[in-house]
Structure 1
């Protein structure tokens, strides 16, 4: 009997199935250092303990997307090892900051299944939760992924597509305990723009571009222990290319958004997200944002902005073609909430 695992295929999943993912991970300052080496991330709250303490936190947490990548990576061997592509996200809530020394675990519940018409693959919907060493949920999100079938002749499961909210309501945002931006240091943060300076419908071109290299992508996926074959095995795709991990594009676009959104300090929700087109080494990625909504919060000096973050190989402001489909240059369309000083 083989002791190795080929991973889960589409026909292996059942509605209501709960999978506890292996290998807990204790977060250290090393994750932050490597993250900031991989991406041009410069958020002051995630760079300085002193800045974070002035904002009411006990110290500088790790970047929100570090927590996302670690928790996501835990789920890959069980959910997307045999994925064709990770398709989208919804109902994501960042519930507690993660600090160096915290130990993260994750589990996923299968909440939807839909076989594709070709009979060779299907879409699996899961709700993944990440917890710290105290059992507190730090991140909760839904994603859906296209997974190959082991046996194309295996019977299709009953189709169930979950009804997911289009947006996390502003009233449902969870703010970190003690967060207070009344003593916010704009000079240290890098830009003077406050919550009230942004208007709904405003489009911000983040100007800068970064060309993706194979080596940094491979380092990133290993850092997050993401074992999806499409990211490592050049023989897994007919074109012989390794697909760039979608989370790599998210972090790159988020880091590029510093230019114009330096004070968008904390991600508190992911409303929706789509990896619109595949990304490969050699692509030069740029980013632009659209302000979708604004909301007040009960925390002192803190406002919330709902943003659309778009990563593209092309020009700012272009999202869809005349046919209504994503423009071929668009790599990522992410709808999320951030906290900014008022």
Structure 2
């Protein structure tokens, strides 16, 4: 019997199956230090225990995207090792903060399958759950991936495309237990802008840009134990180029959004997301945000903003699609999410 695992191909997935992913990961302060070294992440709640305690939490949690990348990375050997591309996200919710010392594991259920017309690949939809050492749900989300076929003669499954919500209803947002912004320190946070200062339709140009480096991308992808071949193996793609992990772009854009959204402290939910065009080493990423919606929460002083974060390697703030409705070639990421901000 072979000892190695070539990964799953499209024909290896069955609708409804639940996949328990291997290798749980205990997260410590080192992950925070590396994350803040890789990205210009400066949100106060994730930088200071004292700021977090003043906000009703026992200590500073790890950045939400550390939890996301960790849970995502566990799924790669079973879901996207042979992927052509990760296509999108929906219905993501953060259920509980992750603190240093927590151990995360992942499981995914196949909720959709559709073979592509070329017969060489297909799209797999999975709902992934991240659980901590107590079995508590930390986050869950849906993603869909284009996966190669290993056997081109394998019959196509009956197509099933799941119906997914366009947005997480604000009533379904889960505010962390104890979180309060009633005595929020705007000076320490870095900006004075409150929930009420943002207007629907407002576009914020985050100004700064960061050039993606091959070494940093490789380090980040290894940090999350993401083994997808397209990120590491220069012989895997016909053009000989390694794709930058989409999560690397998400974290870079989120960190850049600090300039203008310093008080959008916590990601509450991911409504949807698309990696519009591939990112490669040498690309310079800039970002802008559009305010889509606002909601109140029951937590003292805590409001929610629905934000559309767009990362681009070329173009101007507020512009992402051409007259044909397709993404412009400079657009790398279009991410729709909810964030908690003081009222």
Normalising by the residue count of structure 2, what TM-score does the alignment of the two structures yield? 0.99
Aligned partners of 1:333, 1:222: CA distance in 2, in Å?
A: 24
Aligned partners of 1:153, 1:165: CA distance in 2, in Å?
A: 34
- Give the aligned partner of residue 196 of structure 1: 196
- Give the aligned partner of residue 277 of structure 1: 277
With 117-126 and 308-317 compared, the bigger mean Cα shift is at 308-317
- Give the aligned partner of residue 261 of structure 2: 261
- Give the aligned partner of residue 48 of structure 1: 48
Give the length in aligned residue pairs.
342
- Give the aligned partner of residue 291 of structure 1: 291
Aligned partners of 1:197, 1:268: CA distance in 2, in Å?
A: 19
- Give the aligned partner of residue 113 of structure 2: 113
Aligned partners of 1:100, 1:26: CA distance in 2, in Å?
A: 8
C-alpha deviation, 1:8, in angstroms: 0.3
- Give the aligned partner of residue 336 of structure 1: 337
Unaligned 5+ residue runs, structure 1?
none
Aligned partners of 1:136, 1:339: CA distance in 2, in Å?
A: 21
DSSP-derived class of the 2:123 partner:
strand
- Give the aligned partner of residue 326 of structure 1: 327
DSSP-derived class of the 2:231 partner:
helix
Aligned partners of 1:233, 1:318: CA distance in 2, in Å?
A: 33
Matches within 5 A, 1:225-244: 225-244=225-244
Matches within 5 A, 1:61-80: 61-80=61-80
- Give the aligned partner of residue 9 of structure 1: 9
> Can you list the C-alpha shifts for 1:69-89, whole angstroms capped at 9, x where unaligned?
000000000000000000000
Aligned partners of 2:125, 2:2: CA distance in 1, in Å?
A: 29
Aligned partners of 2:226, 2:85: CA distance in 1, in Å?
A: 13
User: How large is the Cα RMSD of the aligned pairs?
Assistant: 0.4
Aligned partners of 1:221, 1:13: CA distance in 2, in Å?
A: 25
Aligned partners of 1:316, 1:222: CA distance in 2, in Å?
A: 32
C-alpha deviation, 1:153, in angstroms: 1.2
Normalising by the residue count of structure 1, what TM-score does the alignment of the two structures yield? 1.00
C-alpha deviation, 1:218, in angstroms: 0.1
C-alpha deviation, 1:316, in angstroms: 1.4
C-alpha deviation, 1:318, in angstroms: 1.1
> Can you list the C-alpha shifts for 1:80-131, whole angstroms capped at 9, x where unaligned?
0000000000000000000000000000000000000000000000000000
Matches within 5 A, 1:303-322: 303-314=303-314, 315-322=316-323
User: Within the alignment, does 1:31 sit opposite 2:31 as a pair?
Assistant: yes
C-alpha deviation, 1:215, in angstroms: 0.2
Unaligned 5+ residue runs, structure 2?
none
> Runs (4+) of structure 1 moved beyond 3 Å?
none
C-alpha deviation, 1:165, in angstroms: 0.3
- Give the aligned partner of residue 20 of structure 2: 20
> Can you list the C-alpha shifts for 1:241-285, whole angstroms capped at 9, x where unaligned?
000000000000000000000000000100000000000000000
C-alpha deviation, 1:152, in angstroms: 1.0
